[in-house]
Structure 1
Amino acid sequence: MKKIAAFLLLGSFAFSIGCKKSDSSPDPSGGGNTGGDVVNPATNTVDIRGVIKADRKFTKDKTYRLRGYVYVTDGATLTIEPGTKIVSNKDSAGVLVIYRDATIVADGNADNPIVFTSNETTKAPGDLGGVVLVGQAKGNNNHTVIEGGVDAAFSAFGGTNDAHSSGTLRYVRIEYAGKAVNPGDEINGLSLYGVGSGTTIDYIQVIRGLDDAFEFFGGAVNCKHLIAYNCADDDFDMDDGYRGMIQYAISIKDPKFTDAKGTTGDISNNFEVDNVNPSNGFQLSRTPITAPTLSNFTAVGPNNASGTSTDYGYGMRWRRGARFVLANSIVMGGQKAGLDIDDDSTANYYKNDTSRFYNSFLHSVANNFQLGNSSAVKVYDVASLQAKVTGNDLSAVYADPAAIKLTDPFNTAAPNVKPATGSPALSTAGKFDYRGLTNAFFDKTSFVGAMDATNDWTAKWTVWNK
């Protein structure tokens, strides 16, 4: 036994010498699995690298530091106890990838959320890479590989199983995420690639992210209780044929904070929803078509506050062949426009009643309604769009956001989107009588927006002023 122990000790020493490389590079060949951890006894921090191929548990009595890209694969389950903290330093911007046949069980609670965050004394967006779930549900191959510099061995995603489960994320905060490898090639706060409806995503807050808060690349995952807070790019970005349902979500924008756009012409929005990018050579009708069904969102833009970044765009940008239903929601404070529809097919979907902004409230600093390019204008006009939204789709337009009477929605340090006494959000019952809204997934609310006056589902587990 002593010889075996000595051999193991020697092997551990050799492993530590062999791992002297750039921690920001993928390391698919080893580390971070069984016996390769480096533990700092002074801080009780465990360094995690490389590939996890066997079941593993992160416990709340330790802090776990992601060093570069960490891949969970080969059918392994990563379990993370409630109250556990997973950190990253800016020199490696750690990324946790739950790959196609693996599972995560990160099941926190309101008193003990699981937190992914920066390990820096002075914390900044990009200190953490982000969290990536990779499933086996259908997409339309608009993206053929995962963005953000992941190793080629772990870059494929999707499949044919829309009911596939990648596990559970519940009561989880993701702070200071975002990793830009190249323009348009980034890790987001929470990236969901081909994730199936068997996955549970509930009570997730993404805070001060350098890129998108939530991005859905195809798949059919359903989510509840999502918060995008002070993130630099789009808060809810959907493409590649995403067809899931989401209820109860909050989007808050810091007026002065956007990511570096360069000369791309990109802008930051509360919603940006595409089917495919035509520059990839695809028809906008490529199937499956991006067609989310969304209810009870409160999306708050910068509202032209002092110092608002010129890169802020729209409350909603629907384009490139996407269809949608957004119901029982409040979209307010959009900078350049409130409801923007680009491209002829996307405009036709709205014109023909396939898409709807339904039973909701809209306010914008500039145009409440916009057809954003000549292709959309060919099939529709702004006056007809407005008439349909406010007529057939039963949505209301507000010139003054104060008339919506939310408690303190534009206070980015301590936002409060709860309806105040007398708010029309409380006297407008939710409507769940159109297409996917009839699904049992949706709670049938007596109000519009993300919350009513009494049930604060953000209590205890969230943080603000970051």
Structure 2
Amino acid sequence: MKRIQNRVVLAAVITALLAGCDGGGVSVEPKTVDNSVDNSVDNSGSGSSENPCAMIESSGVQGTYESGNCRYGTDFVSASNPLTEDLYLPALSEGGAHIFDGSLFVGENFSSDADLQAAGIAKGGDGVKLEIQAGTTVAFKDNSAFMVVNRGSQVFARGTESAPITFTSETDVRGTVTADAVSQWGGMVINGFGVTNKCKYKGSIDGGDLDLEGECHVAAEGSTDDNTSYYGGDNNADNSGELSYVVVKHTGALVASGDELNGISFDAVGSGTVVNNLQAYSTFDDGIEFFGGAVDVNNYVALYVRDDSIDIDEGYRGSITNALVIQSENDGNHCIEADGIGSYEDTIDYTALINQGLNSRPMIDGLTCIVSAQKEGTHDPGAGWRLREGIYPMITNSIIVASFKADETADDGSNYCLRMESAQTRNEATSGTELALTSNIFACEDRTKTDEASFDLAAWAEDNGNQFAPISGAMSPTIGIDTNFILLDGTPAIYTVAADQQRINDAVPTVTAFERAYLGALDINGTDWTQGWTYGLHQGSRAQPLWFE
């Protein structure tokens, strides 16, 4: 009965959310400021020299054009010298890159309501706009440099399937990095005015009367000295711009213990922001991390992420639809690490905060996780989903496979598929209606990790429409290798096979897709949304084959 109730509740929630998502169809068209400058010099009547680099119009400072690339010094932009006017970065001919010696801070950072009000900034769009043309490469000198879009400002990076936008390192541009190198530059941080449970509120989100108590200015990860930036507010519909067909490569910087730059940090970013077709490639820390907010992500790829491919915290209430996560053969931590409450250890009244709807409540649909069951990577062993600190997730139509290679520490629980760590989360799973895991297949030798002996997580999962494949040693889930265990196939083997071809223990799985045609991120008979723009997956656009090919 619990399983049926969860499915009914989940369907109702999804229907309600879709009905209220009018903002998802809004197209925000910024005014294009083309500040690339034609400084042609024609001495012969037949030849010319042109500087296509961007210019700060108010100061006249322009990038230097050298060997097909544009280089920008800290006099152009840096953490202490942020952009204060709109900027346009054009695609350069022959694959040239815009290379920044320092950090690229878009808009000014403000740490008080008074300063925000004085600057006329209350929402995304009030500040500076950075627009990046399809096909552009943006690169950074080293890992002391990173990109920040401050509150009120926006980035419009609209790539296409045939002309994605790439954020990477100068070493990558020069061709001096290995395929899985990390920490070549910092990463991207987007700060919004969305809700974060590190701030205090009255009212509730679902009641429609949530309002701040006092001010909300949370220091972003990677914040020190001039690099400090803040996020937070009470507008989960805030708009920080658009990222479409964007690839972020070779990121990561350790700022302090426990304070590391991710591939992309979405800090209280609102649902008015458009994120479609996004990749995090070879990152030292997390691929993407959400600190509150409600931004939705469609079509996400995480490849060679050394920590958590998807990290959720501080009351995130957005959705992630279609996500492909592939860890390295011998590195990577969680496919998902999801926390409900940002300051969990310091929170006294969990019930009050949860009743306000301030804990994380993500919706994840269509996820494929290919996990490395290694003993010890850069951070921790490879694992599946870690759900903790009062989180209420809804995760559907997903597959975790940790059996392409044998579990290095079989039966010790380290390489688990599923872990439900906090009492608040377990209580909601057994007696509430706001948490649901259904139509998921788990294929790990360590099925679960136990945090409460009286709660049988595996039994609960199976009772709620999920299935565990019996795994012992290395078992490939592909056609032609083991006919008793078939989930994925294709070139590479990242596509879910048709339901009637799937096998778990030599039988068609008991799990069926919920309100869609297939499990996982990619249907072998459907449209391959990863083709043409991603890096590292397909022949012709990668430095090495995937380790399980």
Q: Residue 186 of structure 2 aligns with which residue?
A: 129
Matched, 1:85 2:85: no
SS for the counterpart of 1:60 is coil
SS for the counterpart of 1:360 is strand
Matched, 1:119 2:170: yes
Q: Residue 265 of structure 1 aligns with which residue?
A: none
State the distance in 2 between where 1:34 and 1:323 align.
50
State the distance in 2 between where 1:282 and 1:40 align.
56
Q: Residue 287 of structure 2 aligns with which residue?
A: 213
Deviations 1:396-440 (A, max 9, x none): 1111462242127xxxxx8531124513699965324xxxxxxxx
Match runs of 1:56-75 below 5 Å: 56-61=87-92, 63-73=97-107, 75=127
State the distance in 2 between where 1:32 and 1:205 align.
32
Cα distance change on mapping 1:42 and 1:311 into 2, 3 Å: same
Q: Residue 496 of structure 2 aligns with which residue?
A: 419
Aligned counterpart in structure 2 of residue 331 of structure 1, from 376, 389, 400? 400
Q: Would the aligned equivalents of 1:101 and 1:135 in 2 still touch at CA under 8 Å?
A: yes
Q: Residue 94 of structure 1 aligns with which residue?
A: 145
Q: Residue 71 of structure 2 aligns with which residue?
A: 46
Q: What letter corresponds to residue 529 of structure 2 in structure 1?
A: W
Q: Would the aligned equivalents of 2:150 and 2:230 in 1 still touch at CA under 8 Å?
A: no
Q: Would the aligned equivalents of 1:67 and 1:94 in 2 still touch at CA under 8 Å?
A: yes
Q: Would the aligned equivalents of 2:400 and 2:442 in 1 still touch at CA under 8 Å?
A: yes
**Tell me, which stretches of 5 or more residues in structure 1 are unaligned?**
1-30, 259-267, 409-413, 433-444
Which shifted more, 78-87 or 296-305?
A: 296-305
Q: Residue 521 of structure 2 aligns with which residue?
A: 450
Q: Would the aligned equivalents of 2:297 and 2:321 in 1 still touch at CA under 8 Å?
A: yes
Which of the two has higher C-alpha Rg? Answer: 2
Q: Would the aligned equivalents of 2:104 and 2:146 in 1 still touch at CA under 8 Å?
A: yes
Cα distance change on mapping 1:70 and 1:34 into 2, 3 Å: farther
State the distance in 2 between where 1:204 and 1:234 align.
16
RMSD: 2.7
Q: Would the aligned equivalents of 1:32 and 1:52 in 2 still touch at CA under 8 Å?
A: no
Q: Would the aligned equivalents of 2:132 and 2:158 in 1 still touch at CA under 8 Å?
A: yes
Q: Would the aligned equivalents of 1:69 and 1:150 in 2 still touch at CA under 8 Å?
A: no
Q: Would the aligned equivalents of 1:304 and 1:333 in 2 still touch at CA under 8 Å?
A: no
* Per-residue deviation, 1:279: 3.6
Deviations 1:200-247 (A, max 9, x none): 011001000010000000001111001111111000000000011110
SS for the counterpart of 2:494 is strand
Q: Residue 430 of structure 1 aligns with which residue?
A: 513
Matched, 1:292 2:362: yes
Which shifted more, 205-214 or 350-359?
A: 350-359
Cα distance change on mapping 1:364 and 1:283 into 2, 3 Å: farther
Cα distance change on mapping 1:187 and 1:105 into 2, 3 Å: same
Deviations 1:45-96 (A, max 9, x none): 2315321111100100152113332211151110000000011222x54211
Q: Would the aligned equivalents of 2:331 and 2:372 in 1 still touch at CA under 8 Å?
A: no
Q: Residue 440 of structure 1 aligns with which residue?
A: none
Cα distance change on mapping 1:33 and 1:118 into 2, 3 Å: farther
State the distance in 2 between where 1:255 and 1:283 align.
42
State the distance in 1 between where 2:58 and 2:513 align.
48
Q: Residue 159 of structure 2 aligns with which residue?
A: 108
State the distance in 2 between where 1:359 and 1:169 align.
30
* Per-residue deviation, 1:118: 1.9
Q: Would the aligned equivalents of 2:71 and 2:101 in 1 still touch at CA under 8 Å?
A: no
**Tell me, which stretches of 5 or more residues in structure 2 are unaligned?**
1-55, 109-126, 200-216, 404-413, 478-484, 537-541, 544-549
Cα distance change on mapping 1:248 and 1:87 into 2, 3 Å: same
Deviations 1:315-363 (A, max 9, x none): 0000111111110111221852111011211211212243222111111
Cα distance change on mapping 1:149 and 1:68 into 2, 3 Å: farther
Q: What letter corresponds to residue 159 of structure 2 in structure 1?
A: G
State the distance in 2 between where 1:54 and 1:256 align.
45
Cα distance change on mapping 1:283 and 1:186 into 2, 3 Å: farther
State the distance in 1 between where 2:517 and 2:310 align.
24
Match runs of 1:21-40 below 5 Å: 34-40=59-65
SS for the counterpart of 2:77 is strand
SS for the counterpart of 1:208 is strand
State the distance in 2 between where 1:208 and 1:71 align.
23
Q: Residue 488 of structure 2 aligns with which residue?
A: 406
* Per-residue deviation, 1:308: 6.7
State the distance in 2 between where 1:34 and 1:56 align.
13
Q: Would the aligned equivalents of 2:372 and 2:383 in 1 still touch at CA under 8 Å?
A: no
* Per-residue deviation, 1:283: 4.7
Q: Would the aligned equivalents of 1:205 and 1:227 in 2 still touch at CA under 8 Å?
A: yes
Which shifted more, 77-86 or 37-46?
A: 37-46
Q: Residue 362 of structure 1 aligns with which residue?
A: 442
State the distance in 1 between where 2:381 and 2:169 align.
26
TM-score normalized with structure 2 length: 0.68
Q: Residue 274 of structure 1 aligns with which residue?
A: 339
* Per-residue deviation, 1:37: 3.6
* Per-residue deviation, 1:456: 0.9
Q: What letter corresponds to residue 68 of structure 2 in structure 1?
A: T
Count of residues in Structure 1 that have an aligned counterpart in Structure 2: 400
Aligned counterpart in structure 2 of residue 163 of structure 1, from 237, 249, 255? 237
Q: Residue 141 of structure 1 aligns with which residue?
A: 198
* Per-residue deviation, 1:364: 1.1
SS for the counterpart of 1:136 is coil
Q: What letter corresponds to residue 108 of structure 1 in structure 2?
A: G
Q: Residue 437 of structure 1 aligns with which residue?
A: none
Deviations 1:244-270 (A, max 9, x none): 111000111113235xxxxxxxxx211
Q: Residue 45 of structure 2 aligns with which residue?
A: none
Aligned counterpart in structure 2 of residue 322 of structure 1, from 391, 408, 411? 391
State the distance in 2 between where 1:106 and 1:349 align.
39
SS for the counterpart of 2:337 is strand
Cα distance change on mapping 1:102 and 1:399 into 2, 3 Å: same
Cα distance change on mapping 1:34 and 1:177 into 2, 3 Å: farther
Matched, 1:371 2:450: yes
SS for the counterpart of 2:531 is coil
TM-score normalized with structure 1 length: 0.79
Cα distance change on mapping 1:248 and 1:98 into 2, 3 Å: same
